[in-house]
Amino acid sequence: METQSVDMSKKLIEYCKLYMSEWHTVKGFVHDMTLLGIETKYKHLTTYDTMKTDRHKEKKEKEREVFYTSIEEKKNKEKIKKWVFNSEYIPEELDFCKDLVAKFWAVKKGSRSKEAYELLVGHYGLLGIRRKYGLKDGEKAVKEQLEEAIANKWQSITLKNYEAFGRPQKADKEPVTNHPAGRLFKNGRFVDG
């Protein structure tokens, strides 16, 4: 194969290094990308987004296997700032359980994103439980939920799940009294009212 040297800016070379795999050389990467660009531009290939990323086997007429690799879409290797939990983010209304929230965040399963944190401490999470069930009962319920969540490494704590699973089932029912005056006389006999 006959070659020819081409001048490239240092910026373009650095840009190539961001996307190329560690096994690629700069020369090989530029060669592959140039070929891919030409074939895509002139419709010899499908568009970049629809390419397959697996290795494929294909048997030719001469019964020999030919391996080919389509080019993977590379994610930008630039560092993206991730949100990091800090106990200072906890609202003042949850100061009574600040240490439990921090412990839970350290052991929880699942995502530790800003959105997950906002769900945990927001109106559909701990603040919702505390506000809906009042100061005394709400704080007690929040502490119980956090302790259980830490012990069982839950993904999150929500008001919906607390009402469905964590809340005592008899909380809405009136206490049953077995006092004789509570019985009714119907159809000639006493029945419980």
Q: Given the structure tokens 């412990």, which residue do they identify?
A: 103
- 92-128 exposure pattern, b = at least 16 Cβ within 10 A, e = fewer: ebbeebeebbeebbeebeeeeeeebbebbbeebbbbb
Tokens for 50, please give them.
């629809």
Chain-centroid distance of CA 165 in Å reads: 22
Tokens for 184, please give them.
């009714």
> Mind listing the pLDDT tens digit of every residue in the chain (193 residues)?
788 888 888 888 888 888 888 888 888 888 888 888 887 777 665 555 455 444 444 444 444 444 444 444 444 545 566 778 888 888 899 999 999 999 999 999 988 889 999 999 999 999 999 999 888 888 999 999 999 999 999 999 999 988 888 776 655 555 566 666 667 777 877 776 5
> How many residues does this entry show for the chain?
193
Q: DSSP code of 17?
A: H
Tokens for 107, please give them.
């052991």
